Amino acid sequence: EPEVTQTPSHQVTQMGQEVILRCVPISNHLYFYWYRQILGQKVEFLVSFYNNEISEKSEIFDDQFSVERPDGSNFTLKIRSTKLEDSAMYFCATLAGLAGVHETQYFGPGTRLLVL
Amino acid sequence: AQRVTQPEKLLSVFKGAPVELKCNYSYSGSPELFWYVQYSRQRLQLLLRHISRESIKGFTADLNKGETSFHLKKPFAQEEDSAMYYCALNRTGANSKLTFGKGITLSVRP
């Protein structure tokens, strides 16, 4: 069964550094999402992406964050200048987007980001 | 605003005991409700959704709009059911964000 993949699985970075988290969606999926989960807290929505543009974003997704799909395959989340509070597990999810079909989002395994 | 509440953090039962994981939601529109499960060292995966009305791995959940609840139930718990369970919702028929509850750890002891 096809799966969403994410790289790296773990990343440690210094505060103020830029990080790029990568996601390879399931082939032919059209909708892409990033969520994060700070340790001990709930999974929170960050942003959704469709047709090469952001369709929805949360208040967490400020100017430090950006998403793109540069090569038609990878879907990336960039944090421009990391803060300590960005330490979390980041999940990518994708959805096929077939009209008239009740669908579900498929999640990647996550990237654990630690900002020191 | 969308909100999902899972009031308990941990439920520990013995194998064969019944299980009920509680979920309440708040949403002004027409929601679609889901239960996701995360087994140890594995990814979040869909367990079931209210619209399917099916039983997966012996689990069922009924949407009660009057009580705004979507509790997950299983009559006889198995050790392999031990995992983290998350209730989530989004707008019906939309490709929009999922709003998750905090999750509950289910521990099934032998």
pLDDT digits (tens, 9 = 90+) for A82-93: 999 999 999 999
Q: What is the pLDDT of residues A31-54, one digit of tens each?
A: 999 999 999 889 999 999 998 899
Task: Look at residue A69 and tell me whether its pLDDT is greater than 80.
Answer: yes
Residue A80 — pLDDT band, cuts 50, 70, 90? very high
Contact B104, B8 (CB under 8 A): yes
Question: Are A50 and B95 an interchain contact pair (Cβ–Cβ within 8 Å)?
Answer: yes
Find the helix or strand (DSSP H, E) in which A17 lies.
none
To 10 degrees, the CA torsion angle through A107, A111, B1, B3?
80
CB atoms within 10 A of CB A62: 9
Question: Are A104 and B49 an interchain contact pair (Cβ–Cβ within 8 Å)?
Answer: yes
Which residue matches tokens 């999940």?
A91
Mean pLDDT of B85-102: 87
State the Cα–Cα distance between residues B49 and B54, nearest whole angstrom: 8
CB contact set of B94 (below 8 Å; sequence gap of 6+): none
State the Cα–Cα distance between residues A37 and B67, nearest whole angstrom: 28
Beta bridge partners of A6: A23
Task: Look at residue A7 and tell me whether its pLDDT is greater than 70.
Answer: yes
Tell me which residue in B44, B46, B103 faces A42 most closely, judged by beta carbons. B103
Question: Are B98 and A95 an interchain contact pair (Cβ–Cβ within 8 Å)?
Answer: no
Question: Are B98 and A35 an interchain contact pair (Cβ–Cβ within 8 Å)?
Answer: yes
What six digits make up the tokens of B78? Answer: 């198995």
Chain B, residues 12-71, CB within 8 A of chain A, namely: 32, 34, 36, 42-46, 49, 51-52
What six digits make up the tokens of A115? Answer: 């900002």
pLDDT over 70 percentage in chain A: 97
State the Cα–Cα distance between residues A21 and A28, nearest whole angstrom: 21
Residue A100 — pLDDT band, cuts 50, 70, 90? low
Residue A98 — pLDDT band, cuts 50, 70, 90? confident
